[in-house]
Amino acid sequence: MTLALGATTQDSYAAALALLQDRPLVVLTGAGVSTDSGIPDYRSPGSPARQPMTYQQFISGPQERQRYWARSHLGWRRMGSAVPNAGHRVLTRIDPELLITQNVDGLHEQASPELAGSGRLVTLHGRVADVICLSCRTVSPRRDLQERMEAFNAGWAEAHADVESRPDGDVALEETQDFVVPDCEICGGILKPDVVFFGENVPKDRVARCMEAVDALAGEGVLLVAGSSLAVMSGYRFVRRAAKAGIPVVIVNRGATRGDGEAAYKLEVGTSEFLTTLAQRRASGSGRA
């Protein structure tokens, strides 16, 4: 990094903190906040390109679902061992009006049960911890399905222990035709992770809740985006909504984002470090008790 850029970043950093320290906030987080928990961010600079399975592929036939669940079966074992990092842990102290996450890893919920319990956490794309039946719509815990997959595919995970991890609980695995996929125990229907796939829409009530919180920032609030490149419209639309209403947007992300042009401040720093500093500032800020 050049000295000139370093100086600019220092100024922006201080100004962004000053803006954020005692105003109502809506915080939108993405994969970048979970990288410090060991969950890789496939959109960050230098990451290999990747094509996640679309909803249309998932429902297109049994081979695609076999491919999905075999990979997910391995990925789950790794994601299951991830724990919240400092960035997740300080969110309760930052005390946003609403925390919106694009992440499906459940780490915000683990770190901030207070926010989740008071309805101030929206998992925009769902959670990999839940499974839904596409026929009877019953939602069940993923860990139960994991046990059934272990039972149906004894020794399978051990035989594929050295494949590469991917951010949403997926792995770089190609040979999946011998994997046995369990069906819904109630109706025999197709089981799908209760997460929003590419090609699928975020449930309307979830979007409405987020839009309402962004709109309520008008006048004094700020939208803070942490660790997202805003590549998908499901998150970017909140930035557009805020910018149109004259609500300042601060983006903290390593690498370019789709919202850079709409941001009052764009900081290329680590999210854990920034959120920790912000939490300290808000705890000692003049405007807050």
Interface residues toward Zn ion, by CB under 5 A: 133, 135-136, 184, 186-187, 189
CB of 234 to Zn ion, least distance (A): 26
Closer to Zn ion at the Cβ: 131 or 247? 131
Edge-to-edge strands, sheet with 121-123: 121-123, 98-101, 25-29, 222-226, 249-252, 265-267
In the chain, what is the greatest distance between 2 CA atoms, to the nearest angstrom? Answer: 63
Closer to Zn ion at the Cβ: 182 or 189? 189
CB of 187 to Zn ion, least distance (A): 3
Question: Is-contact 238 28, C-beta < 8 A?
Answer: yes
Whole-angstrom distance, CA of residue 230 vs CA of residue 130: 24
CB of 23 to Zn ion, least distance (A): 46
At 55, the amino acid letter reads Y
What backbone phi and psi angles, to 5 degrees, belong to 24? Answer: -65, 140
CB of 136 to Zn ion, least distance (A): 3
Q: Looking at beta carbons, which pairs linking 134-140 to residues 24 or more positions away fall under 8 Å? A: 134/59, 134/189, 134/190, 134/191, 134/192, 135/184, 135/187, 135/188, 135/189, 135/190, 136/184, 136/186, 136/187, 136/189, 138/184, 138/186, 138/187, 139/194
Question: Is-contact 142 193, C-beta < 8 A?
Answer: yes
CB of 130 to Zn ion, least distance (A): 14
Closer to Zn ion at the Cβ: 133 or 279? 133
The first and second tokens of residue 16, run together, are 């962004």
DSSP string, 222-236: EEEEES----SHHHH
Cα–Cα nearest to 257, from 269, 246, 266, 249: 266
Closer to Zn ion at the Cβ: 66 or 135? 135
Active site residues: 125
The residues pairing with 122 across neighbouring beta strands, listed in sequence order, are 100
Closer to Zn ion at the Cβ: 83 or 134? 134
CB of 204 to Zn ion, least distance (A): 23
Closer to Zn ion at the Cβ: 107 or 191? 191
* Residue listed under structure tokens 């929206």: 122
